[in-house]
Amino acid sequence: MTYRVCFVCTGNICRSPMAESVFRARVREAGLDELVEVDSAGTGGWHEGDGADPRTVAVLEDNGYDSAHTARQFQASWFSRLDLVVALDAGHVKALRRLAPGGDDADKIRLLRSYDSAAGDDLDVPDPYYGGMDGFEECLEMVEAASEGLLAAVREHVEGRVA
């Protein structure tokens, strides 16, 4: 049975497609790509149908990640098919909890940096959209750091299902 993870940010052109690409690479490296499906979306639909921000694409490609992406808006109906909904900041958590049809659905929502033991108290991945390339590079560093812990958590769920 496939374990489904969806990363969510605001417009689905910067942080969440970056997290999707990085985590998909980690899943593939771990040999779990047949068991884990990785996706992303935004809380808003402003950029639906667009590719990722060119700065996101540049940072991903410069670091060896796939950059193929089409933005879309998260829908409440998706909760029923998802196992984990990973928000990039606290505002996304609030928006997703408002969308969640039930308590079990809200329990699926987690902050990405909660999987990074070195993150400290600030668990938000800052939105790099209005800044320069350094913000996108910092975003990638945060995503990569949290992806290891997230992979460990997902592996535990997947191995529990397979056993």
pLDDT tops 90 at residue 61: yes
Residues in the chain: 163
User: Mean pLDDT over residues 27-35, rounded?
Assistant: 97
Catalytic residue, chosen from 15, 24, 26, 55, is: 15
Catalytic annotation present for 14:
no
Active site residue 127: yes
Say which residues have a Cβ less than 8 Å from residue 39's Cβ, sequence separation at least 6.
4, 5, 6, 7, 20
The pLDDT value recorded for residue 93 is 98
Q: 28, 72, 127, 155: which is the annotated catalytic residue?
A: 127
Catalytic pick from 6, 9, 14, 139? 9
Residue 36: predicted pLDDT: 98
pLDDT, position 116: 98
Q: Strand (E) positions, 10-162? A: 36-42, 84-87, 109-111
- Element (H or E) spanning 16, and its range? helix 15-29
pLDDT, tens only, 71-107: 999 999 999 999 999 999 999 999 999 999 999 999 9
Asked whether the predicted pLDDT for residue 162 surpasses 70, the reply is no
Domain containing residue 17: 3-162
Active site residue 81: no
Q: How many domains does the chain have?
A: 1
Both tokens of 90, joined, read 């606290």
Task: Check which CATH number belongs to the domain holding 146 and give it.
Answer: 3.40.50.2300
